[in-house]
Amino acid sequence: MDVKSVIKESITRRDFVKRSTMAAGGGLLMGSLPIGASAYAAGSDTLKVAVVGCGGRGTGAANQALNADPGVKIVALADVFRDRLDQCYNSLAQRHLESGRLDVPEEHKFVGFDSYKKAIPLADVVILTAPPGFRPAHFEECVNQGKDMFCEKPIATDAPGVRRYMKAAEIAREKKLNVVLGLQRRYQTNYREGFKRVAEEGLIGEIIAGQAYWNDGGVWVRQRENWMSELEYQVHNWFYFTWLAGDQILEQNIHNIDIFNWFTGEYPATAQGMGGREVRTGKEYGQIFDHNAIEYTYPSGLVLSAQCRHQRNTWSNVGETLRGTKGTLTYAGFNNNAVIRDYNGNVLYDHDGLNDPNPYQQEHDELFKAIRTGGYIDDTDYGAKTTMTAIMGRMASYSGQMIQWDDAINSDAQLMPYDVTAETAPPVLPDENGFYPVPVPGVSEPH
Ligand SMILES: NC(=O)c1ccc[n+]([C@@H]2O[C@H](COP(=O)([O-])OP(=O)(O)OC[C@H]3O[C@@H](n4cnc5c(N)ncnc54)[C@H](O)[C@@H]3O)[C@@H](O)[C@H]2O)c1
């Protein structure tokens, strides 16, 4: 048997679904009766929206929902921190208070770890934009209550969380809930056009290799405030804690890796790689790596090199190159400029994307259109599997081991507590000098 057949045999999509269903362990309750998207078309003109996680993305997504449909009203806000909720409210108020489309009285502003449970019942559509570790619980609650959703990526930070999400997604499908996921390249014209040319028209031939980069100088760091418990501090500075964010592979490189999953219709059979932290070593950077390099091998034989790095004064690139038997497709630059070349250097396609619709807005335009017209969007399947792809890469990087897809999706390495309250002990604690445990390849178990 050749290498391709061995890999193919180790994972088929049917196998994946069967195993992940068998392994699913979530405590999902059946909620209200199915709400078909078309329920709104003939009903009230108002679509009530709640935001769970009122930070940068939650505020942005709320604006995009308001822009997408004149009947949208923001009716509830939920966050762990009152100041974040207020910032979100004040930012939305500047544009939408006078029109009455920001309609959040004090009693609909919910603060705390259980705030989502209070906000979700008030809405028809929910925006899920809290840190990723909380996503399975928030998603499950929306599904139980029959809500349509805009759900940010990634959908979990560990394999048990992915399985919990997938179990809830099965019920979402039965209820025909619309779920648009925040992997916005799938809503971006450049990528949709590229998909047509590559996956449908075969312009670069069979995809046999690729590169996926998210290399830049890094993101925000949030300082500890005196009044914060250890749990609150970690949630505040969530990007640097694996149980909350998943590491940079899940937070950012996932966008680039997803292109390969999408264009090939496959998910990797294996991952191996390396990573560590060299320049971002302070205690304020929690426990995640500042660089990861993962080599994924797909069932078809495609080998993908995925890199992510947060180190200043190093080569920056956020983009992808797909290498086919006949040519290449490269996405690069601020607008993800798309260029297809054959191996004689001829440019077969070039699109700068400058005048294309904003993909973040497009996500909401399509979500609310589907809700209004009885359409149906379900991004949960690829959302879960692409998140799993990124988790598998992290497992390889943290442990230094070769990771098989089946082992990854069935892993019991649980980073995120099933339920978090103000009393929950954080899963990682600082040592006496304030430093958090950092994975050591060759020593740490895959997680
Ligand atoms: N698709 C994209 O390009 C894109 C861009 C930015 C962020 N995101 C995603 O959006 C999500 C949020 O990122 P952000 O940049 O807005 O971060 P952020 O820190 O600005 O916002 C997160 C908010 O959630 C709140 N929060 C924390 N735990 C909560 C809980 N249990 N319940 C309710 N609220 C809680 C925080 O207090 C904060 O206000 C992440 O999953 C991130 O990956 C996606």
One domain for residues 137 and 55: yes
The pLDDT of residue 182 is 98
From 129, 138, 386, mutation site for ligand 1 pocket: most ligand atoms within 8 A of C-beta = 129
One domain for residues 27 and 173: yes
Length of the chain counted residue by residue: 447
182 CA: nearest ligand 1 atom: 1
For residue 276, CA distances in Å to 133, 216, 265 come to 22, 16, 30
Give 175's DSSP letter: T
In a domain, 440, yes or no: no
Integer Cα distance of 2 and 349 in angstroms: 35
In a domain, 286, yes or no: yes
In a domain, 113, yes or no: yes
251 CA: nearest ligand 1 atom: 43
**What would the 3-class secondary structure string for 353-414 be?**
CCCCCCHHHHHHHHHHHHHHHCCCCECHHHHHHHHHHHHHHHHHHHHCCCEEHHHHHCCCCC
Integer Cα distance of 114 and 112 in angstroms: 5
Distance from the alpha carbon of residue 56 to the mean position of ligand 1, in angstroms: 7
The pLDDT of residue 176 is 97
One domain for residues 141 and 27: yes
The pLDDT of residue 23 is 34
- Choice between 390 and 353, residue whose per-residue pLDDT is larger: 390
In a domain, 111, yes or no: yes
> Closest Cα partner for 49 from 78, 83, 8?
78
For residue 327, CA distances in Å to 59, 190, 192, 349, 437 come to 41, 17, 18, 11, 44
Distance from the alpha carbon of residue 195 to the mean position of ligand 1, in angstroms: 29
Residue 174 has pLDDT above 50, yes or no: yes
> Closest Cα partner for 326 from 194, 193, 198?
198
Distance from the alpha carbon of residue 131 to the mean position of ligand 1, in angstroms: 4
The pLDDT of residue 335 is 84
- φ and ψ of 418, to 5 deg: -60, -40
Give me the chain's average pLDDT, please: 91
Nearest-CA residue for atom 19 of ligand 1? 55
The tens digit of pLDDT for each residue in 88-128 reads 999 999 999 999 999 999 999 999 999 999 999 999 999 99
Contacts for 90 with CB less than 8 Å, ≥ 6 apart: none
Residue 228 has pLDDT above 50, yes or no: yes
Q: Give the binding-site residues of ligand 1, using a 6 Å CB cut-off.
A: 52-58, 78-81, 84, 113, 115-116, 129-132, 134, 152-153, 182, 184, 235, 251
Structure tokens at 355: 């005048």
Integer Cα distance of 2 and 30 in angstroms: 46
Domains of the chain: total: 2
> Closest Cα partner for 58 from 40, 81, 31?
81
Distance from the alpha carbon of residue 172 to the mean position of ligand 1, in angstroms: 23
Residue 7 has pLDDT above 70, yes or no: no
The tens digit of pLDDT for each residue in 308-352 reads 999 999 999 999 999 999 999 999 988 889 999 999 999 999 999
Nearest-CA residue for atom 27 of ligand 1? 130
> Exposed, middle or buried: residue 442 (CB in 10 Å: 0-12, 13-18, 19+)?
exposed
Domain that holds residue 90: 12-185+362-378
Integer Cα distance of 34 and 177 in angstroms: 8
One domain for residues 159 and 194: no
Distance in angstroms between the alpha carbons of the first and the last residue of the chain = 31
One domain for residues 68 and 109: yes
Strand segments, DSSP code E, in 277-346 are 291-297, 303-310, 317-324, 327-332, 337-342
Nearest-CA residue for atom 9 of ligand 1? 152
One domain for residues 23 and 172: yes
The pLDDT of residue 108 is 98
Residue in this structure with the two tokens 């046999």, named with its chain if needed: 208
Asked if 179 contacts 65 with a C-beta cutoff of 8 angstroms, the reply is no
Residue 34 has pLDDT above 50, yes or no: no
194 CB-side CA count, 13 A: 33
From 152, 153, 186, 421, mutation site for ligand 1 pocket: most ligand atoms within 8 A of C-beta = 152
The pLDDT of residue 40 is 54
Q: Where are the alpha helices (DSSP H) in 129-272?
A: 135-144, 159-174, 189-195, 230-236, 242-245, 248, 254-264
What's the CATH code of the domain at 347?
3.30.360.10
In a domain, 27, yes or no: yes
Residue 209 has pLDDT above 50, yes or no: yes
The tens digit of pLDDT for each residue in 260-277 reads 999 999 999 999 999 999
One domain for residues 333 and 367: no
The tens digit of pLDDT for each residue in 66-87 reads 999 999 999 999 999 999 999 9
